[in-house]
Homo-oligomer: A and B are copies of this chain.
Amino acid sequence: MEQNIIVSVDVVLFTLSEGQLKIVLLRRERDPYAGQLALPGGYIHADKDRDSLASAERVLLNKTGLVSPYLEQLYTFSGGVRDPRGWSLSVAYYALVHESLLVPDAELRFELWPVAAVPDLPFDHNRIVDHAAKRLRDKSTYTSLPCHLLPELFTLTELQQTYEHILGVALDKSVFRRKLPELDFLEAVPDAIRQGKHRPAQLYRLRPDRRLTIFDKTV
């Protein structure tokens, strides 16, 4: 049963920075494509990893130093031509984190690139990024997914802007505020008020038991 298949995971790690959707890329340390920017990825270790999700968590921790609160399997890419080493299969995941978790580190050198301007990547990583961005956008139209790009506490205006940045369209404030509470995946944090130059705003957080709420309507 000699299959000679290279089995790995790759992770598309999204964050929102400077009002743009961005992903984490890092310079490959080894061949093939040593020195080039690519997605965080690595072999599945059958001796260490419970399953491919655990592999993705391990890769993410090793390469970016973080544990993502949201990590979901995206799609599996495979074939004989995607990796010069031979027939390969990669289970792709995508993750969402708030920018503050991406602390620059001398050891872990990663870069943030806008999804709209990702450079040419080795393997079929551009295809993976496109697939992930489409999934994120599609799923954001009918789920609470964008919450995971925000810090733990956030205002409704910030949440609305997050949806707008991902979807690329302006949303009506009144409509947005009417719909979201009905879906009750948010809870107002008592006495938590965002102070600013103007009228203070109520802070909300994602209900712990509602990490991904699916709406029956579009947002």
A51 touches B73 (CB 8 A): no
Number of copies: 2
Q: Which of A79-87, A114-122, A145-153 contacts B (4 or more CB under 8 A)?
A: A79-87
Task: Assess whether A100 is interfacial by the CB under 8 Å rule.
Answer: no
Could you give, for residues 1-27 of chain A, a 1 whenever the CB lies within 8 Å of some chain B CB and a 0 otherwise? 101111100000000000000000000
Closest to A90 in B: B76
A46 touches B91 (CB 8 A): no
A52 touches B73 (CB 8 A): no
Task: Assess whether A113 is interfacial by the CB under 8 Å rule.
Answer: no
Could you give, for residues 52-85 of chain A, a 1 whenever the CB lies within 8 Å of some chain B CB and a 0 otherwise? 1000000000000000000001011011100000
Query: How many residues of A sit at the interface, in one of the four size bands?
Result: 20 to 34
Task: Assess whether A219 is interfacial by the CB under 8 Å rule.
Answer: no
Q: Decide: A44 near B5, CB < 8 A? Known: A76-B73, A78-B51.
A: yes
Main secondary structure of the interface of A (DSSP, over half): loop
| A79 contact set on B, CB distance < 8 A | 50-52
A75 touches B73 (CB 8 A): yes
A3 touches B87 (CB 8 A): no
- With beta carbons under 8 angstroms apart, the residue of B73, B80, B89, B216 that contacts A7 is B89
| A6 contact set on B, CB distance < 8 A | 1, 3
> How far is it, in angstroms, between the C-alpha of A10 and the C-alpha of B29 when the chains are bound?
35
> How far is it, in angstroms, between the C-alpha of A51 and the C-alpha of B5 when the chains are bound?
11
For residue A86, give the distance in angstroms from its CB to the closest CB of chain B: 7
Task: Assess whether A123 is interfacial by the CB under 8 Å rule.
Answer: no
| A5 contact set on B, CB distance < 8 A | 5, 7, 44, 46
Q: Decide: A89 near B91, CB < 8 A? Known: A75-B73, A78-B51.
A: yes
> How far is it, in angstroms, between the C-alpha of A201 and the C-alpha of B73 when the chains are bound?
44
> How far is it, in angstroms, between the C-alpha of A66 and the C-alpha of B11 when the chains are bound?
35
Residue contacts A-B, CB under 8 angstroms, 16 given:
A1-B6, A1-B43, A3-B45, A4-B46, A5-B7, A7-B7, A7-B89, A44-B78, A50-B80, A73-B75, A73-B76, A76-B76, A76-B91, A89-B89, A89-B91, A216-B218
